[in-house]
Structures are given as structure tokens and as C-alpha cells.
Structure 1
């Protein structure tokens, strides 16, 4: 027996729920089902943002917002003119969820709990009569006359319109590939760097605003860097990993980075200040006199790495030692040997080739009544609520066009 629906959405995550709710709110007559392969829905929403759910980002200008997307910048410009972060805030307010802006621009529910977002979605699907069917792992999809037929391990479904919101699911990508859709091979994005280096070995937890570059590439990023037990993390590193997802994958995650611990300061700026300090504080010990707002521990470590002993006074600093210190501060070289990924915050670069999608409707250019929402397409962003914003925007556009 086939179960019949007007619309079936495969994928019970953020994009799937948002699409379903908006479809039925715009047309209450529609019979809609969400198919989820797992036992639970909205799993990624639950753990995102450390369990607080980073819903969106306080960037309200589409042309500015697109700059946070290493893949999809051009395509999303028009999409964000249809539904942007301001619309997201209004949508959630209309559904009883108030959001707040944090100092770095990230936006969370004022409850500080992702459960608020989950409850909002579950209440809406219940109220609108949307069927949420768990434990439905799609085995095959095919076109049957004017309908799509979906077979799971236990049921058969027929639908006029099919929306795929399955995120980074290789099985669905493989199915689409048999339909002639081109899939950009997935590679990890948003990962931290594994670095074994005496200079940072004893410094887990130390942070500094930096500029980082990858040797022999155009990749560069600025922002806070966090030293960890396994190497380096923090926004500066995560941004670099997102923009460099393909390049760093091709290097097999073996590459060299240059870290400027003084962010925008040039070697000349640093040298000037060091020479002034040498004159003004001649009798003080170099290692005990942290400059440039660096933490004492990081300063001491960089001083030692410049072949300056802990007892050396500023007056006794040789020209070579001073140059070494300038080099360590503004252009420290570190060898990266592998990456670490947080499984729950995992983001992939890759997915359906953007050329095969009409971004005014999020419809497949190859097949009638086939739509896409969320990360299943080759769009991804840096951290800060941007991946969710893409889910809301694409879901809204699908619902609107249907």
C-alpha cells in the first residue's frame, strides 16, 4: 500500500521542519509528511551552539551576509533578498520564540536552550497536522508518471512534490547522482589544526587575536586563535579551514602556517616598540615584561623560542635576538599535521552542484517537482549561525514557490 501526500520532505532537521511548516502555513489544504531516518528529529539543532542553538547572525544586509559563505556567496545574494536574518527573527517571534544578540553578533533564543527551537517546531507541525515519520530510511526514489515514489525499509510513499533536506547524507547524494545530478565531492569544513610544537605545548587555553596565513596559498584569516591540547582552534583557524576546505584537503592536511600574534602590526611596528622598550626598561628581564597585550605565558614562550634565556635583560639583548623575537611575534612558522573535527558541529563542503538549481525557487533544473533545502546543496558557511540561516532561507523559498 502506498501512503499518499501532496508534499514529502526527506530529512527531519532544521531545513526539513522549516520548509514543512512554511508550506502548510501558506496553504493549509496541503497534506505534508516529513520522513526522518533516525529515531529522533532535529538532532543537530539540539546540540548546535553548545546546546543553545545559534539560530542566526545579526547581519541584516544581504550583500554583507553572503560574505560569510565560502561556497554559495553569489547564489545566496538573491535568496537573502527574499528571506534574510531580519525575517528569521520576525518568523520566530511570530511563533513565540524571542531571540537575543550576543556581543559577537550571534543570535540565540533568550531561553539559552535549543529545546525552545525544537519545541517551537514540534508544536507547529502538530498544530498544522504535518506527519512526522521517524525510522524511515529512504532506500529508493523514482518517478512514477506525475508522482515521486519513495520506498523506505518499511513503507512506500507517493507524492506530487518531493523536497530533499537531508544535509550531508552520502546515500541521498548517490541516489541523486543516478538521476543525473552532479555532486561536488564532500570534504570537511570547519576543523581545527593538529600542531605539535614546543612553543605552544604548555599553553592550552591561551588565546590571542591573530592573523594567520597558509604558506604557498592566498588563504589568510584574522580573529581570535585558541591554543588547545592538540594544536590550534578558535574563529581564526575555523575560518581558514572553511575558506580552505578544498585546498587543505588536497594537501592532505599537511601544510605550514604563519601566525602574526600581533594581528595587524607589521614587523617594523614590532621592532620599533621592542627597541623603545630596550632603551626605557634596560634593567628589566625580557621574559618578565609581556608586551603587545599578550599573556605572560605566551610572551615567555615566544621569548624562549627567540634564543633569549629567561635571565636576559633588555640591555643585553643582541641585534640577532631582537630580530628573532620580531620574527616569532609577527611571522611564527608552525607545521600543521592533520585536523580535528567536532563530530556534532560537523559541516561539509560539497553537495549538489549549484548550477543545477534555480535559486529563485530552490527547484531542480533537471527534474519536475523536485526541490532542495539546507546543506544538501554545495553551500556552507563559517560558524556563527550562518549555516542555519541558509536552512531557513532555502526552506522559505521552497515553501513560497510551491
Structure 2
């Protein structure tokens, strides 16, 4: 019997990897399952993106190994996108690294900067991958609690009172997943100051800026942010390209070079055609975002109706691809979603997937048609 690496004892299979098998098995048995669980966009990418990848197949470089740093014109498009949308100046040659999805970047960044025994500040609730990757590289996750009373923003007073001597890295995620909380006017400035005070690398995971949000923001727009900050972004949600795996990490040339050392030893560049499609996506006119959000606005209103039918409360000012809803007092998240799954054939994500602060909450995805959401409302009522 060959023993597995000890690092695998620190993590479990990703929740959605397991749960979606269960949901698929129910569907295969004939159950009319409607999934409002995972944030996988069901809408198509912009038409010109599909045209670009189709046209790329006959290019002489299409089937060759690609640069670890991506096509120069892709990095140029990313830089232009950040300048236009966030007023952030980036050097495309040295301050941007394309990724095969931003999830890949979480591992690359952790491997580049963390040693065994280093501490990492992780939001609770927050994206589970921050904790699992921290465990896999032998570092220690230190949760900082977020709550509705503070609009799901970090409590800097509490953080300053904690032991930060071993903290090397801090994950933040605004607009926030799973709650949809938008960054306040001052939180990014506070994060940069906090990072500089304690020599902590702050990483903002920023894939939801353009979904139901009129004021996209970047951590890198703060003066001096590149000294202690990185930002991850992705085309998955903004351009309906989750399966294409296109992301990017941005920051100072020094920080990006460290990440490149890891990435270049783990994979090759992404497929030529996907890069060509990504370039077209990044050049989309503002009308793309407004048309996309019209669809999500309609779906969000229906999910609010569904949440009302389930006696849940929610924040109508939240943004992003999900609705974060508070269950009636005393109702447990996982017991509730299992009951709904079995009795109503509806899959919703329990808040506990995202940490202990998610107990008593559930998360609805907007990645289902209006007709499907109306059907869930009918089943519940």
C-alpha cells in the first residue's frame, strides 16, 4: 500500500466536486433537479469571442506551445482593460501574468511566497480554496471573521490586536463572494496601509466587479498599492468564459516575476485560440456589460421572490453572481439545503461551505434561466 503525501491529510475533496456528484446521481435517477448552487454562467460569451477562436484554428502558431507569459497582445489588452475600467496603469511586459483561470493563481502565489509555518489571513466566510491551498503548501490559515453588522468588511481594530508576527499574506475578495458586499470607500486604502504597516502581502481576488455593480473598483488603484498588493481577475464571470480558464494576476514586476518562476515550472501557456478570444472579450464595448446585467437583474428579482418564499432575508444592495440569504433564526444551513434537495429537487449552496460565519445562511446562484427560477418558486410555494 503506497501512502499518500501527508499534505493530503490537511484537505478534503472540494465541496462542489462531491456535492455535484450527488446532485447528478439524483438527476440520473429521474429527479427533476434544478441547480441554483454553483456560479457557472449559462449564457454564451460575446459573439466576436467565438469568431476569434474559430478563426485561430488555421493560424500557423495555433497548435504550438505558447509563452508562459501569454501573447504580448493579450497582456496589452489586459493592461488597456485595467486602465479603462479601473484607472490602473500596468506595464504589460512586467506587471501582468495571464493565468489558466484565477484559481490557478491562488496556488502559484501561495507557492511563490509562503514557507512552511507562515501564517495566512483568510476571510470567514470566504472562498474555500484560500484555506485548502494554504494547507497544501504547509502554511497556517488564520481566519478573520466578517459579519453583516460590519457590511462584511475586515475589522481592522480586531486584526491589529491579533498576533501578526508570522502573517505573510492576506486574502481579500471584493466584491465579496459569497455575500456580494461591495468594497466601502475606504477599505482598499485601509488594506494597503495595513499591509505596509505589517509587511503583509495583500491579494484581492476580483472576478465579480462587473456583475450587477455600477462602480467597479480595483485594489491596485490605491496609491502605493503595488508595493504590498496583488490582484487576481478572471474572464469567467464577466464574459461567460468560466470553462475557457482565462485569468490574470497583476502587481509589481518583482512580485510577478516570483509567481512566473512557479508557473513556468508547472504548466505551459494557454491555448492560442483561447488567448485570441480573450483579447476580443477584453475589447468589448460597455454595452456588453449593460446587456449582461439586464439578464441578471431579471433573475435576481426572481431569486429575491424565491428567498421571500423561503422566509429568508437578504441585502438588495449586494452585487455579484449570487444572492446571500439569511435563514430564519435557528435553522441550520446544511440541514435546510438537504431538505430542499430531497423534498423539492432544488439544489442551493449552504453558507457553511464558506466558513463557520456562513452558518444560518444559504447562497443562490443566478446561473439559471428565469423559467427555471420560476419553477423553483412554484415548487416552494
Q: Do Structure 1 and Structure 2 share a fold, with TM-score over 0.5? A: no
Structure of greater Rg: 1
TM-score with structure 1 setting the length: 0.25
**TM-score normalized by the length of structure 2:** 0.26
Q: Say which structure is richer in helix.
A: 2
More strand by share: 1
